């Protein structure tokens, strides 16, 4: 029972940064923008959050700084992808490389820096319940925020007028423009929300999940989050299942090793990425199914006639 509770708790912990980033990416892609710069934005958010927490002595400052830098980098990407109508794939890769390099440079003085003391995690009283408390109610509040965001994003996209407009822009920006909607502004707003979620994801990695700063510590999670949106066919609840599947796979490998089942660490490290490749390969075998679910204008710049 203790091993099962530990596996559930660690799965929730490991899945949270993937889920936060993927939900942000989902909203941006629903507006028709493909941002491949997620890895770089997460790295910048991770180091800025760490710097903010170390220098101020407050985790709240760290999280706020990460959200702001996430929005700033997302809007920086929007200048090229939305404003200048540049190729979205190339612009996103540029942001990813720039973020990785800049985070490594400004993070040098913070390698080995000590974070301030953090208060206890978990929901008071509920975390004392045998098994259930340890498994589900002993997490940091960001974990529960990420779970609340799933129905919130679903409700926004499918039950509100604003969400309908975002989806319309992603499906047919020319029709939305003809109806009087400002397509570039809507896409920038979707990217800003996406940047805030990605920033929060990066902050969670460096302040809660690890907690430390190491160059390249995001370790491909930004790419996995991008793949999860495709895996979840641009649906919030399916993205949640995908994030917890990948997080659970990572933690299962580690739990097996702690139980004495010998698994080379290299296999543990590569398992989530190998699973990502396999899943995407299986999905791509049915291109018609992808076309039915994918926003029709995803990755295409909007050039008004």
Per-residue three-class SS string for 58-100: CHHHHHHHHHHHHHHHHHHHHHHHHHCCCCHHHHHHHHHHHHH
Report pLDDT for 68: 98
Angle of helix 141-159 relative to helix 2-30, nearest 10 degrees, comes to 40
Predicted local distance difference test score (pLDDT) of residue 171: 94
What is the model's pLDDT at position 140? 92
What pLDDT does 232 receive? 86
Give the per-residue pLDDT at 86: 92
Task: Note the pLDDT tens digit of each residue in 220-241.
Answer: 899 999 989 988 889 999 999 9
- Nearest in space to 105 (alpha carbons), one of 212, 215, 204, 206: 215
Q: Determine the CATH number of domain 2-293.
A: 1.10.3470
Q: Which residues of the chain have pLDDT under 70?
A: 1, 253-266, 268-269, 272, 283-284, 286-287, 289-291, 305
Which pLDDT value is given to residue 119? Answer: 82
Q: What is the pLDDT of residue 297?
A: 92
Q: Rounded to the nearest 10 degrees, what angle do helices 38-56 and 2-30 cross at?
A: 120
Rounded distance between C-alpha atoms, residue 304 and residue 83, angstroms: 12
d(CA 99, CA 40): 4
Q: What is the model's pLDDT at position 194?
A: 97
């Amino acid at each position: 029972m203790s091993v099962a509770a530990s596996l559930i708790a660690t799965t929730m912990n490991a899945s949270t940064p993937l889920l936060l980033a993927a939900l942000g990416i989902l909203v941006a892609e629903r507006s028709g923008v493909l941002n491949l710069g997620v890895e770089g934005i997460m790295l910048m958010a991770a180091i800025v959050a760490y710097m903010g927490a170390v220098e101020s002595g407050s985790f709240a400052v760290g999280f706020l700084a990460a959200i702001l830098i996430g929005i700033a980098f997302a809007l920086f990407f929007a200048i090229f992808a939305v404003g200048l109508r540049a190729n979205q794939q190339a612009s996103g890769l540029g942001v990813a490389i720039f973020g990785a390099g800049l985070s490594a440079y400004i993070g040098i003085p913070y390698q080995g820096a000590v974070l301030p003391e953090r208060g206890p995690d978990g929901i008071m009283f509920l975390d004392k319940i045998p098994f259930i408390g340890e498994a589900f109610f002993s997490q940091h509040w960001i974990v529960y925020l990420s779970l609340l965001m799933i129905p919130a994003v679903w409700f926004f996209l499918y039950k509100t007028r604003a969400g309908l407009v975002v989806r319309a822009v992603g499906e047919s920006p020319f029709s939305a423009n003809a109806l009087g909607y400002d397509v570039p502004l809507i896409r920038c707003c979707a990217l800003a929300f996406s940047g805030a979620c990605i920033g929060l994801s990066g902050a969670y990695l460096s302040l809660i999940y690890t907690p430390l700063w190491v160059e390249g510590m995001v370790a491909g999670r930004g790419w996995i989050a991008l793949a999860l949106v495709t895996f979840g066919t641009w649906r919030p609840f399916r993205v949640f299942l995908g994030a917890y599947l990948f997080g659970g796979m990572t933690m299962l490998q580690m739990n097996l090793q702690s139980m004495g089942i010998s698994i080379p660490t290299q296999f543990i490290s590569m398992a989530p990425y190998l699973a990502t490749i396999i899943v995407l390969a299986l999905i791509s075998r049915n291109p018609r199914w992808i076309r039915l679910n994918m926003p029709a204008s995803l990755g295409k710049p909007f050039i008004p006639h």
